[in-house]
Amino acid sequence: MTWDETWYDEDSGPLVRLYARTGNGAPTGAPDDFELNALISRGAHPASAELSPVESVILRLVVVPLSVSEIAAEVDLPLGAVRTLLRGLHDGGLIEVRRPADSMPHVLEQLLTGLRSL
């Protein structure tokens, strides 16, 4: 068996570990509204300086409403970690969550109107 002694740059692994990038602690596992396809958009409250870099990135991303799974892909974090971050942002009024079910009647109504106008 060989024992490698040195790892340069990327080979040395992420400098900031995943658990540290999610900010304040581990996922809590509490049930909530943050399903994979729930839509997240920017809330009314202004951002404070206490946000972690990942949280700032998320806030910039959701200027356009984005699903939870898309956000996870953008920031390259596990879903559980993203849900925890979103929970914190939601508690602070920084984001709003729209359940996919909420948007369905609206979409169907539009579809119906579109079909009628044909």
C-alpha triplet 76, 82, 86: angle, nearest 5°? 140
Under DSSP, the state recorded for 46 is: P
Q: Which is nearer to other proteins, 23 or 65 (CB)?
A: 23
Q: Which is nearer to other proteins, 10 or 118 (CB)?
A: 10
Give me the residues that bind other proteins (CB under 8 A), please. Answer: 3-10, 12-22, 24-29, 49-54, 56-57, 60, 74-76, 78-81, 83-84
What CA–CA distance (Å, rounded) separates 30 from 28?
5
Determine the length of the chain.
118
State the nearest-atom distance from the C-beta of 36 to other proteins, in Å.
10
What CA–CA distance (Å, rounded) separates 17 from 9?
14
State the nearest-atom distance from the C-beta of 93 to other proteins, in Å.
18
State the nearest-atom distance from the C-beta of 41 to other proteins, in Å.
19
